[in-house]
Structure 1
Amino acid sequence: MIIPATTLATFVSGLYKNILQPSKLGVGADLHCFKNKIEPKCEGPIRRNGGAWTISCGEGKSQPLWLDTILALIGGKFEYGNEICGAVLSVCGKQETIAIWIKDATNEAAQLSIGKQWKEFLEYKDSIEFIVHDSDATAVQCWSSTFPDDPLDVIYNKVPSHCSRVRFAAVCRSWCTAASRHPALPELPWLLLSPRDRDTTKRLYCPEDSKILRISLPSDFIGNWFVGCHGGGWVASFEPPPFRILNIFSSVEVALSEKQKGIVCPGRLGQIIIWKIIFSKPPTSSDCIIAAITDNHGIALCRVGCPNGGWTTKGHVSYTMELVDIAFCNGKLYGLTRDRWELVKFEIGADEDGAPVVTAVDRLVVTVEHQQPPSVWANRVDASYIFELHGKLATAVRSPWSPNLRPFFKVFELVDIDASEGMAHGTHKWTEVMSLGDFALFLGPNSSKAVHVSADRRGGVKRNHIYYSYHRRLAQKEVLLSTDLVFLTSSNADGDSVYYREDESLSGAVGGVHRIGAVGYYVRGSPNPPVWLLPLA
């Protein structure tokens, strides 16, 4: 049916009121409003050379948009109205689409002007799409495809965080293509707040853009205590039992045998408490070795692909030394003792069930400082962590380093001892790292990692900086007395756990002592410090 409308009065009083309302159209119907002597055919010069701006909306949502579109067309509101052929309303299932056809898709000025004015007339805030017609009606061109590549690349390079880059790629096809031209940047860790509470959702703090993200956990995982993590969103939980490994983003859980769900020590009532968990590989790998620091029983080991072996807590006589931190580096397991902060390497074999077991413990670093009584170290060292840096084992030690300075981190790298040095003990020594270069350190009691920071990266994370989760909670008086702490967020509406950030980014020599800039994250009201979580493996 073809019905002419020469004026707005004719259109409103007759056609729209009686025929042209979208709500009266059935699924699969199209409604065309075109200029005189122009037919909306799939063949011909219009379809071959032209294109169309399109808006998609949900079922029953197109009626006011369609009316405003027709009023603008009949009322001659478009600057390039002579380039417009007409408009089409299509109903397809639960989606309705409105399109304005134009004659020449190569007329960039007209194309952009029509799209911009259309959005203004409709007060439409979402993105619209431009489709280029061809003889086969298959070519699709996004509204931003007329942008040169360079501006899109510039925009993408200024996007700070992973979440924002995902949003960038989701804008349209051209922006997605621009994002695909850039290699994926190394993912920076997020801070998992309240690793042990009863909240139904967990909060993740992104240091890049200072945003808080919320994620939901399975109902049977609420209130669990996270004692370790691995890249890709994997977290390890021990309390309440049993021991479990869960992907915090997908809610996928690693299948463990009954022997692997708890550490049992002969002669002890109840299970051993786990303070920290680390993984040699992704926990989905069958040859992944899980290492745990336990309460007064040193280290415990388990292999994911050995369900009959369970956990092992027996081995070398020095196996039960008290550890302050552990780390895998180049496939080897290292530990840092609480007694004088000595570095040890664990040699790992297998028992009769194929489960990993410590066969020997090598003391790698024994310096003059290590000969001091443990009480001296306890008073001097505030926190100490080991991790892999540039393919080598490294440690970060937080200490005053000078009588007149507040504690801050120094970083040391493990190197071989030259035979000419003639040291009586050990085969390695610590050498201070004066700069992290293009890396940043993320340190905490349950996870520590060195991550490369690209020169093109934007946001709050800087190269040659240390970001640490403070290992103990702050007392209320400490917060009140400090002028450097900045409020970050509360864990819930009651403010049970309150988080603060302190910027110590001053780098270089301070008080005659070299230091690397650092940013600390503190908690008041919760005994469990935040945990660094790496979103991607």
Structure 2
Amino acid sequence: PLSAKQRATPYMDKLVCSERPTSNRCIIAVTTAGLAVCKVGCRNHNWWRSRERNHYYDIAFYDGKLCGLLRRSLQIYTISMTKNSDLVVSITYELDMNQLPKCVGSDDVSYIFKHGDRMLMAKRAQWTTVQNRLFFKVFELIKNTRYDYSWVEVTTLDDHALFLSTNCSKMVYVPADRRGGVERNHIYYNHLNLPGDTNRICNDVQLMKCHYSEHLYCRKDKKINGVGRIKSTGYYRTSNYNITNDSAGLMWLLPPEF
């Protein structure tokens, strides 16, 4: 349980823990209008929010540090504690996104997530002028020296599948004899920013009719000649009301064996 002061939390988009929340060493980080952190077990009101009030696409703990993904950079923060048990968050390194492969345009759907001891990023963009299509590329964060990092593209997920949703990402192991149509080395994604109006639906598979006359659709990203990439499948639904409504979102439910 958090202290009474720590429970007065502003609206949050995402929450991540540095380790199991039952540990007194656990640090909780949330994205709000900016970024906020607190330490489990501390009675002090030690929330911290970035002065810049940046919009973080995603956050994750990696190598004992907190990573915050912005539109043009990845910020890596070190978290320390004063004698008064107040948290101090200082930026250690900022990795510019300009070193990524050049893309024509992006729909600002990006994720960072841990897979074992690796930090990965999935970013959806128009990576080629061929056929004018958006698709995901996956990159691994490589630590070159203590204060130097770089992104290296990952061209396969091997025997894993990647599930992406709004403020959520999960890499799961897929056994060779797995039933249910889940494919290895495949990305499954849904997001509020994906196309959902009926005028743009073209040869998409309708899975079911939902409430409020909505329809759930599945779209397999088509092959682009001469462009190597990890295959992906998108899910979205048409909406006859304000898409900012909480019920407009989709989420993955992964069985325990995943």
Q: TM-score range by the shorter chain?
A: 0.7 to 0.9
The verdict on how the C-alpha distance between 1:383 and 1:346 changes in structure 2, with shifts beyond 3 A counting, is: same
The one-letter amino acid of 2:3's match is S
The one-letter amino acid of 1:483's match is N
Q: Which residue of 1 aligns with 2:250?
A: 530
How many Å separate the matches in 2 of 1:353 and 1:462? Answer: 51
Question: Contact conserved, 1:487 with 1:500, CA < 8 A, in 2?
Answer: yes
Q: Which residue of 2 aligns with 1:470?
A: 191
Aligned-pair distance for 1:352?
5.2
Q: What pairs up with 1:392-403 in 2 under 5 angstroms?
A: 392-403=118-129
Aligned-pair distance for 1:395?
0.7
Q: What pairs up with 1:489-500 in 2 under 5 angstroms?
A: 489-490=209-210, 492=211, 494-495=212-213, 498-500=215-217
TM-score (norm 2): 0.80
Q: Which residue of 2 aligns with 1:260?
A: 6
Aligned-pair distance for 1:261?
2.2
Q: Which has the higher helix share?
A: 1
Q: Does 1:408 align with 2:135?
A: yes
Question: Contact conserved, 2:76 with 2:94, CA < 8 A, in 1?
Answer: yes
Question: Contact conserved, 2:196 with 2:237, CA < 8 A, in 1?
Answer: no
SS of residue paired to 1:399? strand
TM-score (norm 1): 0.41
The one-letter amino acid of 2:233's match is V
The one-letter amino acid of 1:329's match is Y
Aligned with residue 301 of structure 1, among 1, 23, 37: 37
Q: Does 1:442 align with 2:173?
A: no
SS of residue paired to 1:457? coil
The one-letter amino acid of 2:204's match is D
How many Å separate the matches in 1 of 2:250 and 2:156? Answer: 26
SS of residue paired to 1:348? strand
The verdict on how the C-alpha distance between 1:450 and 1:369 changes in structure 2, with shifts beyond 3 A counting, is: same
How many Å separate the matches in 1 of 2:255 and 2:63? Answer: 22
4+ aligned runs moved over 6 Å, structure 1: none
How many Å separate the matches in 2 of 1:499 and 1:286? Answer: 43
SS of residue paired to 2:6? helix
Q: Does 1:348 align with 2:79?
A: yes
- Structure whose alpha-carbon radius of gyration is higher: 1
SS of residue paired to 2:198? helix
How many Å separate the matches in 1 of 2:196 and 2:49? Answer: 39
SS of residue paired to 1:515? coil
How many Å separate the matches in 2 of 1:523 and 1:309? Answer: 44
The verdict on how the C-alpha distance between 1:468 and 1:356 changes in structure 2, with shifts beyond 3 A counting, is: farther
The one-letter amino acid of 2:206's match is V
Size of the alignment, in residue pairs? 248
SS of residue paired to 1:259? coil
Aligned with residue 11 of structure 2, among 268, 273, 276: 273
How many Å separate the matches in 2 of 1:343 and 1:311? Answer: 24
The one-letter amino acid of 2:127's match is W
The verdict on how the C-alpha distance between 1:330 and 1:485 changes in structure 2, with shifts beyond 3 A counting, is: farther
How many Å separate the matches in 2 of 1:284 and 1:530? Answer: 29
Aligned-pair distance for 1:405?
3.3
Q: What pairs up with 1:33-432 in 2 under 5 angstroms?
A: 255-263=1-9, 272-295=10-33, 298-306=34-42, 308-310=43-45, 312-314=47-49, 320-338=53-71, 340=72, 342-351=73-82, 354=85, 356-358=87-89, 360-366=90-96, 368-369=98-99, 379-403=105-129, 404-417=131-144, 427-432=148-153
Aligned-pair distance for 1:282?
3.8
Q: Which residue of 1 aligns with 2:231?
A: 517
How many Å separate the matches in 2 of 1:407 and 1:439? Answer: 22
Deviation by residue 1:287-338 (Cα, 9 ceiling, x = unmatched): 332211112xx210123322x23451257x6x64432111123443211112
How many Å separate the matches in 2 of 1:278 and 1:532? Answer: 18
How many Å separate the matches in 1 of 2:56 and 2:220? Answer: 29
How many Å separate the matches in 2 of 1:301 and 1:292? Answer: 6
Identity %, equivalent residues: 37
SS of residue paired to 2:47? coil
The verdict on how the C-alpha distance between 1:392 and 1:294 changes in structure 2, with shifts beyond 3 A counting, is: same
Aligned-pair distance for 1:369?
4.8
How many Å separate the matches in 2 of 1:323 and 1:413? Answer: 19
Q: Which residue of 2 aligns with 1:453?
A: 174
The one-letter amino acid of 1:366's match is D
The one-letter amino acid of 1:361's match is I
Aligned-pair distance for 1:532?
3.6
Q: Structure 1 regions of 5+ residues with no counterpart?
A: 1-254, 264-271, 419-425
